Structure 1
Amino acid sequence: MLGNFVTGTAVLAPAGMLGELSQGLGVSIRDAGLLITFGAVVLCIGSPLSAWLTSRIDRRLLLTTTLLVLALGNLASALAPNYAVLLALRIAMLAVGALYTPQAAGAVALLVAPEKRGGTMAYVFLGWSLAVALGVPMVAFVAGHFGWREAYGLLGAIGLMSFVLLWARLPGGLRATPVDLSTWAAVGRNRRVLKLLGVSSLQTSGQFVVFTYFGPLLTGLTGAGPAEIGLVFALYGVFGFVGSVIASRIVDGWGSYNTSALFTAFMLAGIAGWTFGAGHFAVMAASVAIWGLGFAAANSMQQVRLLTADPALAGVTVSLNTSVLYVGQAIGSAIGGALFAAGLMHVNGYVSTAVMTCALLAVLFATRETNR
C-alpha cells in the first residue's frame, strides 16, 4: 500500500504544482500539464510490456527495485536544470514505475486466499487514495511554500523509505505464472475482460479532463488560491480513502459488480455537481468530495472483477487494466489541456460528465452478465 502511495504521488505530483512548475521552468500551464500526459503515455505502454518481460522475476526483487528507481528519479528531478531534462527524467522514471501497481496487485493474488482477495485488493489500492488525499496536497503545500524542487526531493526521500520497508517485509520466492504470447491471445478472446478494460478507460478519461487541471480551473472559475486548491485535493483524496474502506467492507457481500456500479455512480454525481456548480467554490468542493468517494473504490472493483473473470490470466489482465488507466489519463489530460488552453474552462466539466455517463452505462449494461 505504501508503495502504491509512492507510485501514485509520483504519477500525479505535477497536478499539485502546475503553477510552480510553469513559473520555475518558464513554460505554460498546458506544457506543465504535458508532464502528466506524456508520463501516462509511457505508463500505458510500459505496464503490459513490463508484465511480459518481468513475469519470471521474483516479486520482492521486482517491486523493491521499481520503488528504488522511482525514489532516485524524483531526487534527480529536484536537480533538473530545465523543462526538457525534467520531462526526460520523468519518462525514464515512469517507464520503470509502470511495473509497480499491476505487479503489486499480482503479488496480492499470491499472498492471500481467493475468498479474501476482494477486500485485500481494495486495501492495497488505498495507497492511490492516500496519494491524492495526502501526497498531492503535500506536494502542493511544499511546492507553494518552498519550491517545486523541494517537493521532488521530499518524494524521493519517502520513496527510499518505502523501498527499505518493502525489502524488509515482503517475503521472497513470490513468482507469478510466466507470461507468453498465448496468454495475450487468451486475453484478446475474452470478451468479458475486454469490456472491463473499456470501462476502466472511460472512467479515467472522464476524470482526467478535469482532474489534471484542478488548480488552474479552480483559480479561473472561482478565484481560489493555494489553500483552497489544497483543500479540494485533500477532499478528493480523503473521501477516496473513505470510499475504498467502504468498498473493502462490502464487496465480499455485495459482489464486485454491484459495488462497481455504486461507486461509478458516485463519480458521475460528483463530476456533474462540479460542472453545474461551476463558479461557486463551496458547491464545487462538495461535489469533489462526492466524486472522491467513487474514484479509488471503482478502480479497485475493476481489479477485483478482472481477477475473478479469469484467475489464470490475472497477471496480464491487471497489468492491462493499469495500462488502460494510463491511456485514459493521457486522453483525458490531453483533452483537458486543449480546452484549458482555448479558455473553455466550463466545457471541461461538460466533457467530463458526458464521458463518465458513458462509463456508468458501460458498467450497468456491458458488464452485467456476472454479478461478481
Structure 2
Amino acid sequence: MPLVVYILGLTIFSLTTSEFMVAGMMPSLAAAFDISLEQVGSLISMYAFGMVIGGPLLTAGLLKLRVPNKSALLWLLALYAAAQSIAASTDSYTIMTLARIATGVAASACIGTALSICAEVVAVEARGRAASIVLGGLMLAAALGVPIATLIDQNVGWRASFWLVVALTALCAVAISIRVPLSKSSAPIGLSKELAEFKNGHLWSAYATSAFIIGATFAAFSYFTPILTEVTGFSITAIPWLLGMYGVANIVGNAVVGRYADKHTYSVMVCGLLLLITALVAFSLLAQSATASIMMVILIGLVGVTMNPAMVARVMRTARPGTLVNTVHASVINIGLGMGVWLGGLGISTGYGLLSPLWVGTLLAVLGLLSLLPYLARRGSDSPSSQSAFGKQA
C-alpha cells in the first residue's frame, strides 16, 4: 500500500478530530464564550451543516475550474487551516460558528478529494482496502484524537487543541505536496462528466444504503451514555472506558472490513447489517445487564461505521470515482448521521424511553438491508468487474 494512502489517512484524522473534539470540551467553551451547553453543541451541528451543504458546492466549483486533485486538496487544506486558526483565536461565538461552518465545508471537499486521489494511486481491486486506511483516520479520531484533545483542553486550554489541529493540517499539507503524484489523467475530469454520473440510479441506491448504515449506528451510539448510566447502571466515570472499547472495536473492525471489502463488497455489508441488527435488538432487550451491554457496545463498534470501506468500494465501482461523487457520498453519510441522531432523540422526547434509539437504529439497519436485496440476486455481484458493469447499466 503506497505511503500516500497513510498520509491521506492522517489528514482525515486531523479533520475529523476537529469535528468531534468540541463534545469533549463543552464546559471550557461554554465558559469561554459565556454560552449554554446547547449552543456549544450547535458548533458540532454547524460543522456537519458545512459538510453536507457546502462541501459538494465547493467541489463543483473546483471541478468547473478544472483544478487537479492534488492542487485542489492543498488549497482546501489551506482554507481549512485558515478557518481553524480563526476559530482558535476568536473571542466571538458568532465568528466561531462561521469558522466551524467554513471548516466543515473544507473538510467535506477534502474527504472527497482524498478518496479520489486514493482511487488513482492504487489498483482497482485494492480500492476498498486503501479506502479503509484513509477512513481509518475517522475511526482513530474518535478513539484517540478526541481523548487527546480533551486532555489538552483540561491541562492547557481549549485553544491549544484547536491550534494542534492547525499544526497537524499544515504537516499533512507538506507531506501531500511532496508525496502525492499529479493526476494520472492527461486532463482532470470536468464538472459536466462528474454530474453525468448522478443519472445512475444504482449510485443513489448505494448512497441510500450508506445513509441507513450510518444512521442506524449513530442512532444508538449518540445515546450510549444515558443508556449505560441510567438503564444499565454504570457510573459516569466508567463511560470513557466503555467508549474507548467502542473506539478500539471501530479500529479493529475497519481493518478487517478493509481487507475483504473489495472482493466481497455486498457480502460484507449484508453480514455487517445482520450482526448490527442482532446487536441492537440484543442491547434493547438486555440493557439492564452490564455484561451484555458491554458485549453489544463492542459488537456495534465492530460492525457499524466500520462498513465504510465496503460502502466506498461499492460507490467507486458503481460510478466513476470522481471527486464530486465521493464528496456527495461524504455528505450523504453526514445526512444519515444527523437523521439517526434526530430520530433517536425524537423517540426519547416523545416518551418511548431511553432505549428507543436502539429500536430506531434497528429499523434503519433493516431498511439498509432491504436496500441491498435487489443486488443479492445478481450472481457474482461481489466481483469488481460485475459491479462496474452493473453500475454502467443505469
Q: TM-score, normalised by structure 2?
A: 0.81
Using the alignment, how far apart are the partners of 1:65 and 1:267 within structure 2?
Answer: 39
Partner of 1:95: 105
Using the alignment, how far apart are the partners of 2:36 and 2:284 within structure 1?
Answer: 25
Which structure has the greater CA radius of gyration?
Answer: 2
Structure-to-structure mapping, 1:2-17, within 5 angstroms: 2-17=10-25
Q: 1:22 to 1:5 in 2, by over 3 A?
A: same
Partner of 2:160: 150
Query: Aligned pair 1:111/2:121, yes or no?
Result: yes
Q: Which piece of structure 1 moves more, 126-135 or 343-352?
A: 343-352
**Two-structure CA RMSD over aligned residues (Å):** 2.9
Q: Which piece of structure 1 moves more, 39-48 or 297-306?
A: 39-48
Using the alignment, how far apart are the partners of 1:308 and 1:168 within structure 2?
Answer: 29
Q: 1:269: Cα distance to partner? A: 3.7
Secondary structure of the 2:89 match is coil
Match of 1:192 among 198, 202, 213: 202
Partner of 2:132: 122
Query: Aligned pair 1:73/2:111, yes or no?
Result: no
Partner of 2:368: 359
Using the alignment, how far apart are the partners of 1:219 and 1:17 within structure 2?
Answer: 20
2:368 maps to a residue whose letter is A
Structure-to-structure mapping, 1:26-41, within 5 angstroms: 26-41=34-49
Which structure 1 residue ranges, 5 or more long, are not aligned?
Answer: none
Secondary structure of the 2:138 match is helix
Using the alignment, how far apart are the partners of 2:139 and 2:173 within structure 1?
Answer: 19
Q: 1:333: Cα distance to partner? A: 3.2
Q: 1:72 to 1:231 in 2, by over 3 A?
A: farther
Partner of 2:306: 297
Q: 1:89: Cα distance to partner? A: 1.3
Partner of 1:317: 325
Preserved CA contact (<8 Å) 1:43 1:94? yes
Partner of 2:382: 371
Q: 1:353 to 1:24 in 2, by over 3 A?
A: farther
Partner of 2:211: 201
Q: 1:313: Cα distance to partner? A: 5.4
Preserved CA contact (<8 Å) 1:209 1:332? yes
Query: Aligned pair 1:246/2:249, yes or no?
Result: no
Query: Aligned pair 1:330/2:335, yes or no?
Result: no
Number of residue pairs aligned between Structure 1 and Structure 2: 367
Which structure 2 residue ranges, 5 or more long, are not aligned?
Answer: 1-8, 384-394
Q: 1:337: Cα distance to partner? A: 5.1
Question: C-alpha deviations, 1:21-72, integer Å up to 9, x for none?
Answer: 4455454444433323332222112232233222321222222332333334
Preserved CA contact (<8 Å) 2:223 2:357? no
Question: C-alpha deviations, 1:275-315, integer Å up to 9, x for none?
Answer: 344455554343222111123431111110111113x3543
Query: Aligned pair 1:275/2:275, yes or no?
Result: no
Secondary structure of the 2:125 match is helix
Q: Percent identity between the aligned chains?
A: 23
Q: Which piece of structure 1 moves more, 126-135 or 243-252?
A: 243-252
Using the alignment, how far apart are the partners of 2:276 and 2:89 within structure 1?
Answer: 37
Secondary structure of the 1:178 match is coil
Q: Which piece of structure 1 moves more, 97-106 or 7-16?
A: 7-16
Preserved CA contact (<8 Å) 2:81 2:169? yes
